[in-house]
Amino acid sequence: MTSFLVYFYAESPLHAGASESGDGLDLPIQREAGTGYPVIWGQSLKGALRQLARDQGLGPGHDESPQRSYLEHAFGPDLTGDGRRETDPAAGVVTVGDAQLVAMPVPTLQHTFAWATSGLALGRLARKYQRIGRAADLPSVPDEPYPGTGYATCDSWTTSGGAEHVLGPCVVPLTQPEGTDGTNPLARWASLLRGDALGAPDVNGTTGSSETPAGHAPMHFFGKKMSTDLLLLHSDVMDQVLRESTEQSVQVQLSPETKTVRHGPFTSEYLPAESLLASVVTFREERGQLDPESYKALQDIFRELLNGRVLQLGGHETTGKGLVWAHTVGGED
């Protein structure tokens, strides 16, 4: 069994729709029932990955290359029933976990925006690194700050403009955490995310444990920003940010003849651009009945398919929504 950690970084607002409306929203995003954190359920994510593989020509009906049967081995075969094309969700060697929130942008009065995270979000991310066997050099998760406060990665948040900062709907005093070794563990997390989640090089030109080549230019600016603008908030502040910092869009459907409103208005919720999520994707050997060489080739194709690529998740794709950058970490047996 081999597992990858896959980061998804939103280039445009992302709408992974929930099944029920509520709180004045006709089309809310998916959220966890226990925490209220935004999430992309594994079944939604697996369908998007399957479609990506199909779009890249890895499904049946294409040429006779070794990649031709990738779609069936990885995601299971297409079945035909009652004249309709169906998919057996239990087949295939790939298991796709939920994409859980790592950090979400929150508007600020300096630096335009910062990424808000929490002990819960980083703790979950640490568990994912443990699952892929990359937890040895992981920074510690800082203890939760005092209620109503937060931690910053660098001096610019704690010395310039006073210690209190406007973060979306909240005014939050910020300090810097101190680890047992005297360093700032949140700064180490920011450095890790810069390399692994954004594929952006540090001053030495390395990109952490990500396989993305050094000098990955599209994310260079955001990598530098992540190094300084990652904030860890107390859970009570984070909960308010998660409720009030998503984007909401009102849409109507016009009559093509009269250009008057036929249906609506509808209110849709989006996870904002620059949000960061992570999922664990596992390749199971027992389901595939593949020889070791083919099993390894399947993983290499998956890594090439995703790493450093832009894919589309969620709805409203015809209006440019749901574009995310993917980066993979791990994959060793």
The pLDDT assigned to 26 comes to 82
Strands (DSSP E) contained in the chain are: 2-10, 39-40, 78-81, 84-87, 94-96, 99-107, 113-117, 150-151, 164-167, 170-175, 230-233, 247-254, 261-270, 276-283, 309-312, 323-330
DSSP designation for 149? -
Rounded to two decimals, the pTM is: 0.87
Annotate 42-66 with b (16+ C-beta within 10 A) or e (fewer).
bebbbbbbbbbbbebebbeeeeeee
Average pLDDT on 194-212 reads: 68
- Which pLDDT band holds residue 215 (cuts at 50, 70, 90)? very low
Q: Which amino acid is at 72?
A: E
- What pLDDT digit, counting tens, does each position of 136-161 carry? 889 999 999 999 999 999 888 888 65
Would the pLDDT of 106 be above 90? yes
**Which positions ≥6 away from 309 have C-beta within 8 Å?**
325, 326
- The alpha-helical segments, DSSP class H, found in 101-150 are 119-131
- What pLDDT digit, counting tens, does each position of 226-278 carry? 999 999 999 999 999 999 999 888 888 888 888 888 887 888 899 999 999 99
DSSP designation for 313? -
Would the pLDDT of 309 be above 90? no
- The alpha-helical segments, DSSP class H, found in the chain are 42-55, 70-75, 119-131, 185-196, 220-228, 235-244, 285-288, 292-306
Q: Which amino acid is at 215?
A: G
DSSP designation for 238? H
